[in-house]
């Protein structure tokens, strides 16, 4: 579960970064080849982690608007990211993404509640941010990601053995 790890750089197989430029920071946030060099993809869990890493990489490096990213620092991006998520909670429920009753989901809910409290303290209770994308854009992104072929991903990113 990459997003539940305390060390997200490690769980996303990326490089640790304190860079405040979002474009430079995101370029090395996820390393699919490193994940594949250390893990087999013969379990559903590892296939799920591979897919998660791919979606994150695509989101940060392809989907997000580069002009916007070049105009903000990492803290400003984080504020806008959280603001966007809060605005689209009901939209996500339309995709079956909701608060579940499993202990795993409750742990995730607890983590998000802690983030929301921290964000309210950081930016104020009714903070405003910029929406990073439209509902149409995120729908298109979700549909594109849903058509991902994992076998093709593995072939594309698997490190080649040298003789």
Per domain, the residue ranges of the chain are: 1-64+148-163, 72-132
- Say what the pTM is: 0.74
Token pair of 52 as six digits: 């998660």
What is the pLDDT, as a whole number, of residue 103?
44
pLDDT in tens, 62-96: 999 999 999 998 888 888 887 787 777 666 666 66
Positions of the chain with pLDDT lower than 70, given as ranges:
1-13, 16-20, 89-127, 161-163
Q: Which of 25, 34, 28, 132 is nearest to 87 (CA)?
A: 132
Eight-class DSSP state of 102: S
How far from 9 is each of 6, 55, 58, 118, 125, CA to CA, in Å? Answer: 9, 15, 16, 20, 29
């Amino acid at each position: 579960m990459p997003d539940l790890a305390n060390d997200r750089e490690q769980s996303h197989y990326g490089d640790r970064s304190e860079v405040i430029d979002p474009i430079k920071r995101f370029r090395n946030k996820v390393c699919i080849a490193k994940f594949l060099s250390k893990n087999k993809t013969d379990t559903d869990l590892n296939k799920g982690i591979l897919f998660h890493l791919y979606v994150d990489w695509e989101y940060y490096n392809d989907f997000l608007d580069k002009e916007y990213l070049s105009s903000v620092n990492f803290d400003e991006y984080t504020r806008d990211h959280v603001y966007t998520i809060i605005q689209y909670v009901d939209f996500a429920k339309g995709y079956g993404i909701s608060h579940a009753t499993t202990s795993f989901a409750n742990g995730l809910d607890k983590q998000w509640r802690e983030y929301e409290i921290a964000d309210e303290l950081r930016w104020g209770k009714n903070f405003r941010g910029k929406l990073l994308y439209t509902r149409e854009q995120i729908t298109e992104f979700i549909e594109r990601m849903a058509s991902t072929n994992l076998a093709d991903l593995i072939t594309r990113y698997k490190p080649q053995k040298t003789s």
